[in-house]
Amino acid sequence: MTGGASGIGLATAKVLAREGARVLLCDLEESSGASAVAEVEKEGGEARFVRADVASEADVAAAVRACVAAFGRLDCAVNNAGVTGAMGLIPDCSLEAWERTLAINLTGVFLCLKHEIPVMSEQRSGAIVNIASGAGLIAVPGLSAYCASKHGVLGLTKTAAHETARSGVRVNAICPGVIDTPMLRSAIDASPAMEKMILSSAVSGRLGSPEEVAEAAVWLCSDRASYVSGESMLVDAGTVAR
């Protein structure tokens, strides 16, 4: 579980724990790791924390090895770590900001898939869920790097689903809408323009909760979704459908 110390990642880990899973939480925030582990364990699951930067192949490979060493196998993975990135029109977006957003949101998912798939393929079973965004399906002016990265995640998901179709491994994506997470709150605090854009896009009249996304992710990880692969599931209360 990348980005597992807060938001959608932590909510998903807690739902997995209620289902009886043992969970490895990965995040950059070591200070939040211990409290996240404690929250997961309150739900009845076994949890461990590993600090990992998903933009680092060495970190990602080490996290996958740590999971197998701790639990003996890797049955499901939720690749959730991501950033919003800087807001601004394309001519105003710096190359540094562009590269950092893609490094975390897109290359990070690629690296996770690269190291998760071989373990699951050897087991002949496994389910992977990549957390994309509604912005992976539509344009969001002012968030070019974020949109590009999330569109890329959906392409990676479909390609991985085809490549693993005969291996017992399923790969899907979730496209959340506007979800009340610390990352969203941080973006709102940083930019009044961002707040206006986010609130105007919530067609249901409210923000979604991390738990609502988590339930979808856990279903896709479960055997209840045994014939679902290559899917990009919207969890957005109809925002993209308008």
pLDDT, tens digit (0-9, with 9 covering 90-100), for 85-113: 988 999 999 999 999 999 999 999 999 99
pLDDT of residue 194: 66
| 62 assigned to some structural domain | yes
CA angle 41, 45, 48 (to 5 degrees): 70
Identify the DSSP state of 156. H
| 241 assigned to some structural domain | no
As a whole number of angstroms, the distance between CA 55 and CA 149 comes to: 13
User: Percentage of the chain surpassing pLDDT 70?
Assistant: 98
- Token pair for 242: 């308008």
| 30 assigned to some structural domain | yes
Assign residue 195 the CATH number of its domain: 3.40.50.720
Which of 152, 182, 155 shows the shortest CA–CA distance to 28? 182
As a whole number of angstroms, the distance between CA 38 and CA 44 comes to: 10
Average pLDDT over residues 66-88: 96
As a whole number of angstroms, the distance between CA 220 and CA 79 comes to: 13
| 143 assigned to some structural domain | yes
Is residue 146 among the annotated active site residues?
yes
Tell me the residue type at 83. Answer: V
Inter-residue contact 117 to 72 (CB < 8 Å): no
pLDDT, tens digit, 9 for 90 and up, residues 168-187: 999 999 999 989 887 777 77
| 103 assigned to some structural domain | yes
| 20 assigned to some structural domain | yes
Q: Which of 104, 146, 148, 157 is catalytic?
A: 146
pLDDT, tens digit, 9 for 90 and up, residues 30-47: 889 999 999 999 888 899
| 242 assigned to some structural domain | no
pTM, two decimal places: 0.94
Inter-residue contact 105 to 80 (CB < 8 Å): no
As for how many domains the chain has, the answer is: 1
Query: What domain range includes position 186?
Result: 7-235
| 2 assigned to some structural domain | no
